Structure 1
Amino acid sequence: MFQPDLFKGQRILVTGGGTGLGKAMAEKFLELGADIYICGRRESVAQATAQELMAKHGGSVQAFGLDIRDAQAVDDMVGTIFQDGPLTGLVNNAAGNFISRTEDLSPRGFDAIANIVMHGTFYVTQAVGKRWIAGGHPGSVVSIVVTWVENGGPFVVPSAMSKSAVHTMTKSLATEWGGHRIRLNAIGPGEIPTEGMSARLSPGQKPGERAAKNNPMGRTGTMEELQNLATFLLSDGCPWLTGQTIFMDGGGYLATGGNFYELREWTDEQWQQARDAIQSQNRKDRDQRS
């Protein structure tokens, strides 16, 4: 679909680029000729991904270990990247989520999601955008949101609220920064199974099993589909396209709401089992970081 040198000379930052969806998008951009920058909380994972992608495709991938909830750390990272020249693209992919009855949420649990998704996404976007504006550079931003920004997200309220903020940021800055030749768009993907996501949103189930069963097209999404859409939005194929959120989910949110409403049927025992599974995954992640 795309010319091999489509992104030659481009410099793209992907947050949460060490694993999952972020890694897949970073790999596609690298394959198409871009210089890639990835960041994540687990520096060792980000560095390993950088080495893996360069060994596979050549090119340049630089990795940073940081928590995007730290505004100063974000600004320092972006400043370091711009020392070698301006970025041309940004993908806001870093996120967190887990299922929970809202009455069971602690303030810490809520903040764990909101501080990454809403605050962190803003910190990165502002740090990049203000440098684009100061230097007179055009740029393109793609943010990963969710279909629930259209119809609400029961049992994932912190994510639904925070992703809605990113959705609104996309529309707001598309108009505010349009005169600076800066475009912002977003993708709301349906379920594309990854280990971390499945462990927190569908604990105890085969990855993608529930989503495929309920989807009008009878399946989950693929990494390739996400890669292709993100590539189109970052490219110059339609530079008048801005302020849009594209939902790529096989019609799932139109048919079912694309959310977790069916979990209202769960018993207290099932919720406890889900909490135990999510906590087990969290401990596994902490052990990998240490």
Structure 2
Amino acid sequence: MFTNDTLKGRSALVTGGGSGLGLGIATAYAQLGANVMIVGRNEERLESAIEHLKKSGGSVASMKCDVRNYDEVKAAVEATVSRFGQLDIMVNNAAGNFICPTSELSPNGWRTVIDIDLNGTFYGCHAAYPHLQKSPFGGSIISIITMLGVTGWPQAAHASAAKGGILSLSRTLAVEWGADNIRVNTISPGPIGDTEGVKRMYIDVGRGEMEAQKTALGRFGKTIDIANAAVFLASGLGEYITGENLIVDGGRWLKQIAPSTLGAKA
């Protein structure tokens, strides 16, 4: 639906870009003309992702990076600028999570998810700032969260708190950095059926149909749905949008909070 040059001339860094939503976003960016750097902790996964991205066209590169380490994040940003000459789009996608009742959640488990999700996002924004400020297109920061970070996420308090924190951080930076021509937005995906996370948490344990029916559309989304949203926000199509949380969840969060009156007799 986008022209092949929608992102031509732009350079992007995608954390957690070796698989899942991060790889989907990186693929869409490369196909639409962007230069793309993907980073992650698993070198083997990055190598496989790069082979995939090379088929999409464009200039692509990868680098090992643990987003919990600010120095590594800053090095990845600097490597992107060194390789492509500029940084225009920063996608904070790297995330960690596991299901655990809060009463049984260890301080280390809490700290690990907060470090990856919330601190990693802050590190990405902070390290990218001086380069995004110089972008001839205007800088764009996109962070992947979830509406469960707004409504609450029973048995995932660590991830819920981190994602809610990212939303607040993003809206704060949208105001602080707006004068620097940097737009800061978030995307809240719903259950995406072709990702490993949904397969592992829902489909493999026989909860796929039940979870799909929790959405207003009655089905899982696809990785391309999130990638298209990330293209829109990063491109000139969304150049007057900042501080926004783009919800791409098939209406799941609305159905969860709406009264169960559908089908009831008057």
Separation in 1, partners of 2:47, 2:10: 21
After superposition, the C-alpha distances for 1:134-189 in whole angstroms (9 at most, x for unaligned) are x4753001110101132111111001000011101110000000000000111101
How many Å apart are 1:107 and its aligned residue?
1.3
Compared with structure 1, are the counterparts of its residues 206 and 36 closer, same or farther at alpha carbon in structure 2 (3 Å cutoff)? farther
Cα contact 2:140–2:182 (8 A) shared by 1: yes
- Residue aligned with 2:143, SS: strand
Cα contact 2:89–2:132 (8 A) shared by 1: no
After superposition, the C-alpha distances for 1:209-267 in whole angstroms (9 at most, x for unaligned) are 33212222110111221111111011011311100001111111111159xxxxxxxxx
Compared with structure 1, are the counterparts of its residues 198 and 224 closer, same or farther at alpha carbon in structure 2 (3 Å cutoff)? closer
Partner of 2:174 in structure 1? 174
Letter in 2 for 1:4: N
Counterpart check, 1:163 vs 2:163: yes
Task: Give 1:86-105 correspondences, 5 Å limit.
Answer: 86-105=86-105
Letter in 1 for 2:231: T
Compared with structure 1, are the counterparts of its residues 160 and 168 closer, same or farther at alpha carbon in structure 2 (3 Å cutoff)? same
How many Å apart are 1:103 and its aligned residue?
0.7
Letter in 1 for 2:205: Q
After superposition, the C-alpha distances for 1:259-290 in whole angstroms (9 at most, x for unaligned) are xxxxxxxxxxxxxxxxxxxxxxxxxxxxxxxx
Q: Which moved more, 1:172-181 or 1:233-242?
A: 233-242
How many Å apart are 1:200 and its aligned residue?
6.0
How many Å apart are 1:104 and its aligned residue?
1.0
Letter in 2 for 1:242: T
Partner of 2:75 in structure 1? 76
Letter in 2 for 1:73: E
State the TM-score, normalized to the length of structure 2. Answer: 0.90
Partner of 2:261 in structure 1? none
Compared with structure 1, are the counterparts of its residues 122 and 226 closer, same or farther at alpha carbon in structure 2 (3 Å cutoff)? same
How many Å apart are 1:193 and its aligned residue?
2.7
After superposition, the C-alpha distances for 1:96-148 in whole angstroms (9 at most, x for unaligned) are 11111111111121112111000111101110013333x47530011101011
Partner of 1:58 in structure 2? 57
Separation in 2, partners of 1:165, 1:87: 24
Partner of 1:245 in structure 2? 245
Separation in 1, partners of 2:2, 2:195: 29
- Residue aligned with 2:253, SS: helix
Cα contact 1:194–1:207 (8 A) shared by 2: no
How many Å apart are 1:60 and its aligned residue?
1.4
Separation in 2, partners of 1:246, 1:181: 20
Task: Give 1:1-290 correspondences, 5 Å limit.
Answer: 1-54=1-54, 56-84=55-83, 85-133=85-133, 135=134, 138-194=138-194, 196-198=196-198, 201-202=201-202, 204-206=204-206, 208-257=208-257
Unaligned runs of 5+ in 2: 259-266
Cα contact 2:38–2:61 (8 A) shared by 1: yes
- Residue aligned with 1:218, SS: coil
Separation in 1, partners of 2:120, 2:80: 18
Separation in 1, partners of 2:148, 2:139: 27
Unaligned runs of 5+ in 1: 259-290
Compared with structure 1, are the counterparts of its residues 141 and 72 closer, same or farther at alpha carbon in structure 2 (3 Å cutoff)? same
How many Å apart are 1:199 and its aligned residue?
6.2
State the TM-score, normalized to the length of structure 1. Answer: 0.83
How many Å apart are 1:206 and its aligned residue?
4.3
Letter in 1 for 2:24: A
Compared with structure 1, are the counterparts of its residues 35 and 136 closer, same or farther at alpha carbon in structure 2 (3 Å cutoff)? closer
Letter in 2 for 1:212: A
Compared with structure 1, are the counterparts of its residues 200 and 99 closer, same or farther at alpha carbon in structure 2 (3 Å cutoff)? farther
